[in-house]
């Protein structure tokens, strides 16, 4: 599992509930943007009531905004909130936000399609690696979009990671995770299955030279875990993988 923090805890619990043995190895993390001024402007606008909507596509974006604007007033009388999927919506609720819109399919295109028409300003805080699909789609519908880089997606290191026993599956939840897998976990054991959260991530994974064995039917960690379980039912399993040795120590 390539991410730690609340996401890692939640998905590890979901993995154990499915009979899997999760090993959390954070490969990516959220870092501050190179230019903080747009994020500061956005936080000020949220405090002043300048936005009608805040549209979030990751739990990391929720964490950044909630950290800068604690006690953000949402729902009736406050800013309205749209989340790209159930996991992001859960992160919003944990931050104390009321969530107004969540698409059935966790995609930026579907989120933009079900957003109510608005003439008010819309804040889209995102990763530096996120594509322009959501902002462009909202602008095409007449929204005044403030597209802000809230965080950078960064790798957690450069050292190679080795396991006492190869993992049976690796969750690949984004192209940036795939890059870290390629950089830090190769050569992969032939028995290890690469499981991608959706077709786009699968295409990015193949483009950097990694095989793809499993693709989730919907873009959520839970759907990906279900796909891994179904796949591993037909694959002989290895011994559970141990956590990688710390840098500088023999595996």
**What are the tens digits of pLDDT across the range 205-234?**
999 999 999 999 888 899 999 999 999 998
What pLDDT band is residue 244 in, cutting at 50, 70 and 90?
low
Least confident of 43-52, 88-97, 180-189, 234-243: 234-243
pLDDT of 242: 53
Q: Return the axis-axis angle of helices 59-68 and 86-94, rounded to nearest 10°.
A: 20
Whole-number Å distance between alpha carbons of 244 and 216 = 26
**What are the tens digits of pLDDT across the range 146-164?**
999 999 999 999 999 988 8
Whole-number Å distance between alpha carbons of 59 and 86 = 10
Q: Which residue, chain included where needed, has tokens 């000020």?
A: 44
pLDDT of 102: 95
Please report, rounded to a whole number, the percentage of residues in the chain having pLDDT higher than 70. Answer: 93
Q: Which residues contact 237 (CB under 8 A, 6 or more apart)?
A: 168
CA 167 to chain centre: 21
pLDDT of 193: 97
What pLDDT band is residue 249 in, cutting at 50, 70 and 90?
very low
Average pLDDT over residues 55-66: 94
28 burial type by CB count under 10 A (0-12 exposed, 13-18 middle, 19+ buried): buried
pLDDT of 247: 43
pLDDT of 75: 86
The answer to whether 184 and 157 are in contact (CB under 8 A) is yes
Which carries the bigger pLDDT value, residue 139 or residue 87?
Answer: 139
Token code pair at residue 169 = 């599956």
Does residue 6 have a pLDDT over 90? no
What is the C-alpha R_g of the chain?
Answer: 19
Domains along the chain? 5-27+158-232 (3.40.50.10090), 35-154 (3.40.50.10090)
Tell me the backbone φ, ψ of residue 201, rounded to 5 degrees: -65, -35
Which carries the bigger pLDDT value, residue 132 or residue 15?
Answer: 15
Does residue 250 have a pLDDT over 50? no
Q: Which long-range contacts (CB under 8 A, 24 or more apart) does 195-202 make?
A: 195/169, 195/170, 195/171, 195/224, 195/227, 195/228, 195/231, 196/172, 196/224, 197/171, 197/172, 197/173, 197/221, 197/223, 197/224, 200/175, 201/172, 201/173, 201/174, 201/175, 201/177
What pLDDT band is residue 235 in, cutting at 50, 70 and 90?
low
Average pLDDT over residues 139-143: 91
What pLDDT band is residue 236 in, cutting at 50, 70 and 90?
low
């Amino acid at each position: 599992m390539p991410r730690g923090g609340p996401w890692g805890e939640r998905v590890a619990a979901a993995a154990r509930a499915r009979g899997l043995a999760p090993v959390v190895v954070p490969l990516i993390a959220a870092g501050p943007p190179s230019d903080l001024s747009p994020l500061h402007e956005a936080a000020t606008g949220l405090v002043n009531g300048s936005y009608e909507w805040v549209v979030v596509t990751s739990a990391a974006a929720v964490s950044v905004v909630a950290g800068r604007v604690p006690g953000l007033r949402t729902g009736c009388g406050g800013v309205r909130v749209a989340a790209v999927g159930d996991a992001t919506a859960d992160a919003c609720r944990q931050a104390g936000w009321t969530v107004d819109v969540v698409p059935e399919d966790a995609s930026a295109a579907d989120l933009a399609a079900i957003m109510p028409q608005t003439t008010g300003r819309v804040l889209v805080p995102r990763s530096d690696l996120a594509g322009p699909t959501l902002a462009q789609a909202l602008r095409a519908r007449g929204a005044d979009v403030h597209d802000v880089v809230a965080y950078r997606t960064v790798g957690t290191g450069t050292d190679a990671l080795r396991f006492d026993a190869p993992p049976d599956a690796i969750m690949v939840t984004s192209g940036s995770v795939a890059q870290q897998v390629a950089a830090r976990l190769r050569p992969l054991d032939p028995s290890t299955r690469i499981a991608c959260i959706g077709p786009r991530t699968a295409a990015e994974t193949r483009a950097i030279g990694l095989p793809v064995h499993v693709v989730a039917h919907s873009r959520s960690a839970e759907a990906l875990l279900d796909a891994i379980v179904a796949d591993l039912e037909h694959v002989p399993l290895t011994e559970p993988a141990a956590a990688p040795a710390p840098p500088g120590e023999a595996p």
